[in-house]
Structure 1
Amino acid sequence: MAVSDSTAVKYPVTTRAFGLAIVVLSGMQLMMVLDGTVASLALARIQEDLGLSDSGRNWVITSYALTFGGLMLLGGRLGDAFGRKRVFIGGVALFTVASLLCGLAMNEGMLVAARAFQGVGAAIASPTAMALVATTFAPGPVRNQAIAIFAAMTGVGSVTGLIVGGALTEVSWRWIFLINVPIGLAILALAFGALTETAGERLQLDVPGAVLATLGCTAVVFGFTEGPEMGWGSPAVLAGLVGGAALLAAFLVVERRAENPLLPFSLFRNRDRVATFVAIAFIGMVMFSLAPFVALFVQDVLGFTPLRAGLAFVPFAGGLGTAAFVASKLAVRVQPRWLVVAGALITFVGLLYGATLDGSATYLGDLLVLVLGVGFGVGLAVVPLPLCAIAGVGPHEIGPLTAIAQVAQVLFGPVGLAVVGAMATSRTLSRGGVSGAVADMTPQQLDALGQGYTFALFGCAVLAALAALTALFIRFTPEQVAQAQAAEKAAQQA
């Protein structure tokens, strides 16, 4: 009887996963996935309404991801140090307030700053929510159900975001951010009663490491983003690129000496794992850079409404889901590198085809096969990589490696968008295009804009090819991947 009471105290939910606790935690996950999806669909309207430059348009996306990815590991440690319920509520509150500021933004600077604060809130709330799933639900069927519900919100949010985001943008782009306010307030109201506080631990937080990583990536992204318009020889651009590299070098020095580093170097002694993280970074760049430019192309060049654009991307999720199911079955039978290579090459071919499109393209004749094919290729590549990241390690290392893999995908996405965005802007300007409202452009300028967007797809194709090349150096076996799957399941049930 004493064991039962102890278990009840340790795990507040022991009989049934569905309840207020999972509604709160999965609701937060849904809200943040929706936010990441809908922003790409609204870019065209935001640029027109606020008069954003091409670089400013990119910052709407990258400012969120930079703070989210750069501070995610620190956000998880904050929950361990100060209590996960308290930190989760603080993160959701910050995300909600930042969403309100995004919806009320009157200029580029205010919107970009608010998006950065959204990323900070997400970096605090998201990893803490995942940790709360483990401390709230008892090991076994209950926790498995909770994890399944929590994970399903990513897929549901991706598809729902395309439809809901498109519909809201038809009314006003501001609503894609303002809709978070009542949802966030509801989550906060329920969280106080539904979640149980955890005891804080005495941890030495690696704040310098998190700040240096975030600032370093931000400076590099600034250099690539502003280079085409300010000039590559501009002192500000050069300072961003050189200063960013220096900050990242300082980050590595700090991590080697930190008592509790965000990036333990001991986890990188395996060459196969290093190749895995690099491949994850390249795939993250492709996924992050692809969505904005396809959304801009179909709206600015082909004249799709935001809602039609969102519906047009739904087959991408279908292709990705189908490939993910296939890859999960094959990963324990085929060397994972061949799945990643195959997926990256399918993506490469699809994006090369996309780079040939122009204003005469049609959805059924041209875009549908592109959306399905690239979605399938991405799905085939992304499933084996997280399993390779944790292959051959002990249960205590699964959590840190999984977190680092997630950060690699999120944090390097903005770097990819900065490079691809620089390619797009440079191509547009070199063809006589201009930066500004599409409604004011001549047919020649609109054609130049379209060439820039499709050249961005060529840049994404190059990143996919680099992912395929990197994957060739991953030598984990199907047996090791199967062991990783079993270890991951055991870690969830522990």
Structure 2
Amino acid sequence: MQLMMVLDGTVASLALSRIQEDLGLSDAGRNWVITSYALTFGGLMLLGGRLGDAFGRKRVFIAGVAIFTVTSLLCGLAFNEATLVAARALQGVGAAIASPTALALVATTFAPGPVRNQAIAIFAAMTGVGSVTGLIAGGALTEVSWRWIFLINVPIGLVILVFAFSSLSETNAERLKLDVPGAILATLGCTAVVFGFTEGPEMGWGSPLVLAGLIGGLVLLGAFLLVERRAENPLLPFSLFRNRDRVATFIAIALVGMVMFSLAPFVALFVQDVLGYTPLRAGLAFVPFAFGLGAAAFVASKLAVRVPPRWLVVAGTLLTFAGLMYGSTLDTSTTYVSHMLGLVVGVGFGVGLAVVPLPLCAISGVGPHEIGPLAAIAQVANVLFGPIGLAIVGAMATSKTLSLGGVSGVPAAEMNPAQLDALSQGYTFALLGCAILAALAALAALFIRFTPEQVAQAQAAEKAAQEA
């Protein structure tokens, strides 16, 4: 399940150009293909984890995989923008139910000790394997048809269901009061804000619908905070945010998530629409990013217990900032080896330096019973703020393109040179937006005061919690 979810997130970015051309999507509709999935996934993830505790993890996991599999089929059969976006949103619901239950099932399926440690290591490795495999397999599948990036999930999902029924044991259900209102308000609030930023450039920032989305989203998020203060079993316990260092950590996690979520689609669109790469070639062009990230993650995991973690995060985000500022100067004359290879590796390395210490900072200095909730909130912050970042960066890109005489929703192959240049400048302006987010993440990281000793304790506590 973990491998399938990572693959799905990677390949969708590579297929955007083909999907937009085939279904005639607007630029806003193109962004919704990515954001609709992430909004429901991130918004409902905490509730999905509680469902497993309340109704039994095997049962909930199977339900989530079934929803994900059926909606993947619907995505592959979509015939217009509305059907694809709706199916992607439902696919995110399935992922939100299955994903948080999957790791918990590893802990209940395998005996404590070396066997469980090996299972957790394999589970974690699926993220790296899926990232690289998704770039290659996703590009190859998109060459045939973008529909196959979703249809390939169907046989995989069926295999998961067969083994889940036969191999997993049910866990005891707990009597929990679920915070359904909180999950719904958080998801709807973020969706409304994303709608406002996504549709603003094309509908007009003074449009009643755009204003209603932005204002209504803020009202819904305010209502979410009120509900959480009074909820019996809140998704977001405010007691976990009394530490200022932890608040700064979550802000940095959210901003880094916005950078990563926004970066991939626009680089993929730039190399395909502007440089004329095929989806497979675009996927291969991304592979050095994964290697740069992996190398930095290895270095950061060693240094995080020796140097203050904020300096690793600051160094990583500033390296990312510098790379993206350079990326914002690319144009139609760009070549991969001369201009992009070093950029891709450098930004990957910068992101890797930042993403390793931040989750450890999120769980530093707390008791064993608080590690799980804090780790889950950190994951949600990373996933849920990504669509908001893409909406803001996407609005920058579309506004820039339209201001230069470009057009929205027209295949790049049908554009004249002036329109293509406007499109190129829009995409690179999006990279400037990502660079600004990276700089803000570096600023937030300066306020993280956790020590290397606290990070080392967090590493040990996290390992102990997994082995318990």
TM-score range relative to shorter protein: over 0.9
Give the structure 1 partner of residue 186 of structure 2: 213
Match status 1:434 vs 2:407: yes
Give the structure 1 partner of residue 98 of structure 2: 125
Deviation at 1:479, TM superposition (A): 0.5
Q: Within 2, Cα distance between the matches of 1:391 and 1:31? A: 31
Deviation at 1:134, TM superposition (A): 1.1
| CA deviation vs aligned residue, 1:58-78 (integer Å, no higher than 9, x gap) | 000000000000000000000
1:180 to 153, 174, 183: 153
Match status 1:479 vs 2:450: no
Match status 1:413 vs 2:382: no
| CA deviation vs aligned residue, 1:343-393 (integer Å, no higher than 9, x gap) | 000000000000000010001001101100000000000000000000000
| CA deviation vs aligned residue, 1:409-444 (integer Å, no higher than 9, x gap) | 000000000000000000000000001111211110
Deviation at 1:466, TM superposition (A): 0.2
Moved segments of 4+, more than 6 Å = none
Give the structure 2 partner of residue 446 of structure 1: 420
2:126 to 139, 153, 160: 153
- Find the residue that maps to 2:340 and give its secondary structure: helix
Give the structure 1 partner of residue 17 of structure 2: 44
Q: Within 2, Cα distance between the matches of 1:137 and 1:259? A: 32
Q: Which amino acid aligns with 1:442?
A: N
| CA deviation vs aligned residue, 1:121-147 (integer Å, no higher than 9, x gap) | 000000000111111111111111010
Give the structure 2 partner of residue 8 of structure 1: none
Deviation at 1:284, TM superposition (A): 0.1
| CA deviation vs aligned residue, 1:14-40 (integer Å, no higher than 9, x gap) | xxxxxxxxxxxxxx1100110000000
Match status 1:459 vs 2:444: no
Structure 1: runs of 5+ lacking an equivalent: 1-27
Give the structure 2 partner of residue 20 of structure 1: none
Q: Which amino acid aligns with 1:374?
A: V
| CA deviation vs aligned residue, 1:289-348 (integer Å, no higher than 9, x gap) | 000000000000000000000000000000000000000000001000000000000000
Deviation at 1:249, TM superposition (A): 0.1
Match status 1:381 vs 2:318: no
Deviation at 1:471, TM superposition (A): 0.1
Q: Within 1, Cα distance between the matches of 2:36 and 2:365? A: 35
| CA deviation vs aligned residue, 1:167-218 (integer Å, no higher than 9, x gap) | 0000000000000000101111111011000110000000000000000000
Match status 1:468 vs 2:442: yes
Q: Which amino acid aligns with 2:426?
A: G
Aligned residues: 467
Q: Within 2, Cα distance between the matches of 1:438 and 1:236? A: 29
1:65 to 31, 35, 38: 38
- Find the residue that maps to 2:334 and give its secondary structure: coil
Q: Within 1, Cα distance between the matches of 2:158 and 2:45? A: 22
Q: Within 2, Cα distance between the matches of 1:30 and 1:265? A: 33
Correspondences of 1:80-479 after superposition (within 5 Å): 80-435=53-408, 436-479=410-453
Q: Within 2, Cα distance between the matches of 1:182 and 1:478? A: 45
Q: Within 1, Cα distance between the matches of 2:110 and 2:366? A: 25
Q: Within 2, Cα distance between the matches of 1:139 and 1:159? A: 30
- Find the residue that maps to 1:379 and give its secondary structure: helix
Q: Within 2, Cα distance between the matches of 1:81 and 1:122? A: 18
| CA deviation vs aligned residue, 1:233-277 (integer Å, no higher than 9, x gap) | 000000000000000000000000000000000000000000000
Q: Within 2, Cα distance between the matches of 1:84 and 1:335? A: 38
Q: Within 1, Cα distance between the matches of 2:190 and 2:35? A: 10
Q: Within 2, Cα distance between the matches of 1:407 and 1:414? A: 12
Please, what is the CA RMSD of the aligned residues? 0.4
Q: Within 2, Cα distance between the matches of 1:381 and 1:183? A: 33
Q: Within 2, Cα distance between the matches of 1:490 and 1:263? A: 24
After alignment, is 181-190 or 158-167 more displaced? 181-190
Give the structure 2 partner of residue 490 of structure 1: 464
Q: Which amino acid aligns with 2:171?
A: T
TM-score of the superposed pair, with normalisation by structure 1: 0.94
Q: Within 2, Cα distance between the matches of 1:424 and 1:88? A: 38
- Find the residue that maps to 1:199 and give its secondary structure: coil
Q: Which amino acid aligns with 1:200?
A: A
